[in-house]
Amino acid sequence: MMSPSRDGSRVSSDIRRHNLSLLTRQLASNGPQSRTRLAETTGLTKGAITALTAALVEVGVLREGDEGASPARAGTGRKRTLLRLAADDMAILVLQLDADVATALLTTLAGDELLRTERHHGRPMGQPGPIIDVLADTLRGALDEAARIGRRVLDSVVVVFAPVSGDPAIVVADTDLDWGPIDLLGELRAREPRLAPDARLCPDAALAAQAEHSLLPGIDEMLYIKSNSGIGGAAIAGGRLVVGSRSMAGAFGHIAIVPNGEPCLCGQHGCLVTVAGPDVVLRDAGLDGLRQSAGLTVALGELVRRLRAGDEQAVAAWEPASEWLARTLSVLTLSFDPAAIVLGGYWAELTDLVEPRLRRLVPPIAVAAGWTPPAILAGTLGADAALNGAVWNARDRLLFDPMQLSARRD
Ligand SMILES: [Zn+2]
């Protein structure tokens, strides 16, 4: 059992961390402020603000400076001291690998873009080496740029369109690229040793779901499911991401929905991805050639255009896929009872075609009880949902524990 004094110090350090994060988040969202103003906006006492800001100034997270006389003090000759986040020498780095492209994004702590590079990797199936070479090149370019503009990278996130598990985290399998388990962070570090030792590997759908959820105030129970590179998903319950006991929650693309269906790369039969994944739908819509020549994003955009235009082959490809998607959403609705289901990837543009199919699948006894299916909402962040999620996640982590910032300055 924990002794009272140890317990007491744990509580007080939690409170201190909470107050520090309140203060830095206030400065991040509202810009430079005086100590008096900070006391008003955070609700902390002036004494607490004085002590906390002194600690943050000492370690270099905050900087103070005279910012001219305040209107209230005009004529007194006194200038007020404003505190600002000393964040102009810091950066967040996000790498993203999807079925077509390796992306590097460098942003300020507030999330403003400093550099974005994208390189097609050519998708050689089952050959991780050449693809990781391309990703390592984008990493190298971003780190060189950070050094050139004098920014220290405080948090590095590598986003993959695949499930991630283990400690250290590895890619479990990437069905878009035909990869088995692979230590992507280790492979990247072998090519570019400057990759931070605490770089994080994250699946795209979890980050995208958190980003979309942050734009839906008041919705605490939400499912996210998307299709671009493969099919991915995530559940938000009680306002928080459901991670699962093995970090595998949200693998909705591998729900075996079709009895005695086609074999899936995961080893099961009849997974949702085998009947509604982008490869199947694009093939059946006659868009394989466009996918090869112009890439997945362009081909999926063309699929949506043809569906809207009533193209027979596109509609014939979409019909069975959307029916299996609706059946899967019905299973998930009965499992999670969400207030909303957010569709991402190209499905965001087809919510009106999915919603009536799900409505038809509500169990009759539930209809009799007046039960309505969850709202089907279009994701609003488009192709950048996971990148945005990664940046916002890194920003919140750093601002929640601002003393980390000082630890990383040396
Ligand atoms: Zn599967």
Q: From first to last of the 410 residues of the chain, give the pLDDT tens digit.
A: 334 444 455 556 677 777 887 888 788 778 889 999 999 988 899 999 998 888 888 777 788 876 654 455 445 555 678 988 877 788 999 999 998 899 999 998 878 899 999 999 988 889 999 999 999 999 999 999 999 999 999 899 999 998 888 888 999 888 888 898 999 999 999 999 999 999 999 999 999 999 999 889 899 999 999 998 889 999 999 999 998 888 788 989 999 999 999 999 888 999 999 999 999 999 999 999 999 898 888 999 999 999 999 999 999 999 999 999 999 999 999 999 999 999 999 999 999 999 999 999 988 888 888 888 899 999 999 889 999 999 988 887 777 776 666 655 54
Query: In angstroms, rounded to a whole number, what is the distance separating the alpha carbons of residues 187 and 139?
Result: 12
What CATH number is given to the structural domain containing 77?
1.10.10.10
Q: What are phi and psi of 75, to 5 degrees?
A: 95, -20
Are 53 and 129 members of one domain?
Answer: no
CA of 265 to the centre of ligand 1 (A): 6
DSSP for 60-105? Answer: TSEEEEE----GGGTTT-PPPEEEEE--TTEEEEEEEE-SSEEEEE
CA of 306 to the centre of ligand 1 (A): 28
Any domain includes 211: no
Are 98 and 64 members of one domain?
Answer: no
* Number of other CB atoms surrounding residue 142 within 10 Å: 25
125: three-class secondary structure by DSSP: coil
169: three-class secondary structure by DSSP: coil
CA of 32 to the centre of ligand 1 (A): 51
CA of 264 to the centre of ligand 1 (A): 5
What CATH number is given to the structural domain containing 133?
3.30.420.40
State yes or no: cis peptide before 168, omega within 30 of 0. yes
CA of 240 to the centre of ligand 1 (A): 26
Are 246 and 368 members of one domain?
Answer: yes
Any domain includes 298: yes
Domain finish residue from 70, 85, 100:
85
Domain finish residue from 85, 113, 128:
85
Contact between residue 385 and residue 211 where contact means Cβ atoms under 8 Å apart: yes
User: Which among 311, 405, 11, 35 has a CA at the least distance from the CA of 26?
Assistant: 35
Are 14 and 107 members of one domain?
Answer: no
Work out how many domains the chain is built from and give that number.
3
Residues spanned by the domain of 25:
4-85
Query: In angstroms, rounded to a whole number, what is the distance separating the alpha carbons of residues 81 and 88?
Result: 19
Are 402 and 359 members of one domain?
Answer: no
CA of 263 to the centre of ligand 1 (A): 8
CA of 329 to the centre of ligand 1 (A): 16
Domain finish residue from 26, 52, 85:
85
CA of 185 to the centre of ligand 1 (A): 24
Which strands form 222-228's sheet, in the order they lie side by side? Answer: 240-241, 230-237, 222-228, 340-345, 375-378
Are 9 and 28 members of one domain?
Answer: yes
Query: In angstroms, rounded to a whole number, what is the distance separating the alpha carbons of residues 230 and 274?
Result: 10
Contact between residue 351 and residue 341 where contact means Cβ atoms under 8 Å apart: no
